[in-house]
Amino acid sequence: MTSNFVTTARSARQLRQTGRLAQARWSPSPNCGKRPEGADVSLLVVHNISLPPGHFGGDYIEQFFLNTLDNTAHPYFATLADLAVSAHALIRRDGSVIQFVSFLDRAWHAGRSQFCGQEECNDFSIGIELEGADNVPYEVAQYEALANIALLVMRAWPQVTPERIAGHCDIAPGRKTDPGASFDWAYFRNQLQRMIAGRQV
Ligand SMILES: [Zn+2]
């Protein structure tokens, strides 16, 4: 599936104004809040999630972020009962995107975290979940959607640079492992660089 992302300056401006990805299905999560006064977006965090772990498809992730997951539907879900979390967006296996939180607001994706000495990454980051697992290769369509979102975010919030795109594992080492060894950072960064170069022509 080829995504139909538009990454023009105009669409980046719209994203900065509205906080909403035009290409995503909007499914608002209550698990969010305002960013602290003066906090601007300067970091993109890549995660993975699958529910139950290692199983793809279905609506469990969306239900989890909306606090509507039936915690008896699978034994693993009992461990999630008291959690209230979210991410700004989820990229499914086919590259389609669901957005849960406005990019202008603070999603609850990073937890205790630190990037370049700055703590509480939720304050100043955008969190993108890939439907996946640490040891399962991601789909080409997911890399493509992620690179498009990253490019849009970098255009909308220029403080986000390729160097300020990190994994959850990088901002919460020892506590989190996602997006895992299966995420091909070299491939992703290459794709992003090619898109950036293409934009400058
Ligand atoms: Zn994560």
Quickly list DSSP for 128-142. Answer: EEEE--TTSPPPHHH
- Compute, in angstroms, the gap from residue 198 CA to the centroid of ligand 1: 30
- Compute, in angstroms, the gap from residue 200 CA to the centroid of ligand 1: 32
- Compute, in angstroms, the gap from residue 132 CA to the centroid of ligand 1: 11
User: How many residues comprise the chain?
Assistant: 201
Per-residue pLDDT tens over the stretch 160-185: 999 999 999 999 999 999 999 999 99
Q: Which residues are catalytic?
A: 129
Amino acid at position 80, single letter: L
- Compute, in angstroms, the gap from residue 179 CA to the centroid of ligand 1: 7
Per-residue pLDDT tens over the stretch 43-71: 999 999 999 999 999 999 999 999 999 99
| Span between the terminal Cα atoms of the chain, in Å | 26
What is the rounded distance in angstroms from the CA atom of residue 25 to the CA atom of residue 90? 10
- pLDDT score recorded for residue 21: 97
By CB neighbour count within 10 A (0-12 exposed, 13-18 middle, 19+ buried), where does 32 fall? Answer: buried
- pLDDT score recorded for residue 3: 55
Neighbours of 196 (CB within 10 A): 16
For the chain, list the domains and their CATH numbers.
9-196 (3.40.80.10)
- Compute, in angstroms, the gap from residue 64 CA to the centroid of ligand 1: 14
- pLDDT score recorded for residue 201: 44
- pLDDT score recorded for residue 8: 85
Are 159 and 121 a contacting pair, CB within 8 Å? no
- pLDDT score recorded for residue 5: 77
- pLDDT score recorded for residue 7: 77
- pLDDT score recorded for residue 199: 66
Q: Which parts of the chain sit beneath pLDDT 50?
A: 1-2, 201
Neighbours of 201 (CB within 10 A): 4
